[in-house]
């Protein structure tokens, strides 16, 4: 039995924080949560004083590319590397991510199912990293966004078969491409790609198998197609309007904004070697993207944190930068924390296990120096991370 005490507790639910809190961990789970003095801790093997620190749930990043190098041209790098090299690099990125306090990730597109093997290796203790929900090979139209790492399908039957084959391979989530994007040459972020019928076929298969679905969706027509097709989350959501937000609210669709992806592309730019097509497209959409985020926030769309780490200069292990950007664009620090904890767990269908600091849940915990409600940068000052009750070192 391990006792953590004396810290501020932000439990992830959005409720008022608790001062001078006490959390009891037994094996991999949280056993009790309260204030110092309220809970009998006699018999505890170890007590850690965390005065001056804040304890949060381990963070959940709903959109990463654990196989991708955050270099100027990640797709080129991924295509060039052997599977063995990609796997070794991915294992290192997973550890960097975990050390940043991110105890669960949803991978949104890797290569040759390396994400699935890494997920299993971590679960078996062969490698150290966050819990992974993996999407395997993303499903895109012929020549569509991400075709270099995805599987190309045309027509509802092929989309259905694509989803079935990914489910057979063991994915946790089906990722489909509703529109173009910035990192693929020759496709436009605003253009629709897979049709509503194609997406519906893939979503139907996912639902039958109890899997969740996510859609890369930047342009408005593609966003609405994906929502009508029954998708669980809209990734990026660059060109949202009020109607799209209303559709999302009505259908319980989450927005995973990934503000960090365009931020780093524009911040580093052509000088850093990012392909000109990617920088030009991103410069065109970044303001619209931020405005869409603000609109979704104002209208009450559910938002889950996702970074798109693995895109240019969007480093694995610096995932918490997304919280800072969400706060800059209008969230309160508490809203940003809830997006990165409770909301992520709900989107992933894991809220009975993770996402809040509550008795009975997995002891996935992040301890930081200072108070992130006063200064969101505090989430970057990692003091301790626990995954399933085990300290990460
Ligand atoms: Zn992505």
Q: How many A from CA of 235 to the centre of ligand 1? A: 8
What's the pLDDT score for residue 393?
85
In Å, the largest CA–CA distance within the chain is 65
What's the pLDDT score for residue 254?
98
Sketch the domain layout of the chain as residue ranges: 2-56+356-391, 59-319
Q: How many A from CA of 61 to the centre of ligand 1? A: 12
What's the pLDDT score for residue 95?
98
Q: How many A from CA of 65 to the centre of ligand 1? A: 6
53-57 vs 365-369, strand pairing mode:
antiparallel
Q: How many A from CA of 261 to the centre of ligand 1? A: 8
Residues by chain with Cβ below 5 Å of ion ligand 1: 108, 308
Q: How many A from CA of 198 to the centre of ligand 1? A: 20
Q: Which residues contact 169 (CB under 8 A, 6 or more apart)?
A: 113, 116, 136
Q: How many A from CA of 335 to the centre of ligand 1? A: 22
What's the pLDDT score for residue 172?
98
The 10s digit of each residue's pLDDT in 336-380 is 999 999 999 999 999 999 999 999 999 999 999 999 999 999 999
Q: For 72, which DSSP code?
A: S
The 10s digit of each residue's pLDDT in 131-142 is 999 999 999 999
Residue 42 has pLDDT above 90, yes or no: no
| pTM for the structure as a whole | 0.97
Helical residues (DSSP H) of the chain, grouped into ranges: 74-80, 83-99, 114-123, 156-169, 196-208, 220-228, 242-250, 260-268, 276-299, 321-328, 333-339, 342-348
Fold of the domain built from segment(s) 59-319: TIM Barrel (3.20.20)
Mean pLDDT of 143-147: 95
Dump the DSSP string for 7-24.
EEE--SSSSPPEEEEEEE
Q: How many A from CA of 158 to the centre of ligand 1? A: 22
In the CATH scheme, what is the code of domain 2-56+356-391?
Answer: 2.30.40.10
Q: How many A from CA of 333 to the centre of ligand 1? A: 24
What's the pLDDT score for residue 45?
83
Residue 185 has pLDDT above 90, yes or no: no
Residue 171 has pLDDT above 90, yes or no: yes
Q: How many A from CA of 143 to the centre of ligand 1? A: 17
């Amino acid at each position: 039995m391990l006792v953590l005490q004396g810290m501020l507790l932000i439990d992830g639910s959005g409720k008022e924080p608790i001062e001078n809190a006490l959390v009891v961990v037994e094996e991999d789970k949280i056993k009790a949560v309260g204030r110092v003095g309220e809970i009998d801790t006699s018999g505890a093997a170890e007590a850690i004083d965390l005065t001056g620190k804040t304890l949060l749930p381990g963070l959940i990043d709903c959109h990463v590319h654990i196989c991708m190098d955050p270099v100027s041209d990640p797709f080129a790098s991924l295509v060039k590397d052997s599977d063995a090299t990609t796997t070794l690099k991915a294992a290192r990125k997973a550890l960097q991510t975990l050390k940043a306090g991110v105890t669960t990730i949803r991978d949104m597109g890797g290569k040759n199912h390396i994400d699935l093997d890494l997920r299993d290796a971590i679960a078996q203790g062969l490698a150290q990293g966050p819990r992974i929900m993996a999407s395997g090979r993303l499903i895109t139209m012929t020549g569509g966004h991400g075709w270099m790492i995805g599987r190309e399908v045309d027509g509802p039957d092929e989309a259905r078969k694509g989803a079935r084959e990914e489910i057979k391979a063991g994915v946790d989530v089906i990722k489909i491409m509703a529109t173009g994007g910035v990192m693929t040459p020759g496709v436009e972020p605003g253009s629709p790609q897979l049709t509503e019928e194609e997406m519906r076929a893939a979503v139907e298969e996912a639902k039958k198998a109890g899997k969740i679905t996510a859609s890369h969706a930047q342009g408005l027509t593609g966003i609405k197609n994906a929502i009508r097709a029954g998708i669980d989350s809209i990734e990026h959501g660059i060109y949202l309007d009020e109607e799209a937000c209303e559709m999302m609210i009505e259908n319980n669709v989450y927005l995973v904004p990934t503000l960090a992806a365009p931020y780093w592309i524009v911040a580093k730019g052509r000088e850093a070697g990012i392909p000109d097509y990617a920088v030009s497209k991103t410069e065109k959409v970044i303001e619209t993207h931020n405005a869409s985020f603000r609109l979704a926030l104002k209208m009450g769309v559910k938002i889950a944190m996702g970074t798109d780490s693995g895109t240019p200069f969007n480093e694995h292990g610096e995932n918490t930068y997304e919280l800072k950007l969400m706060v800059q664009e209008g969230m309160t620090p508490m809203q940003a924390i809830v997006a990165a904890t409770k909301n992520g767990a709900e989107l992933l269908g894991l809220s009975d296990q993770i996402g809040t600091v509550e008795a009975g849940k997995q002891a996935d915990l992040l301890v930081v120096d200072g108070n992130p409600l006063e200064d969101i940068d505090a989430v970057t000052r990692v003091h301790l991370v626990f995954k399933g009750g085990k300290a990460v070192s």
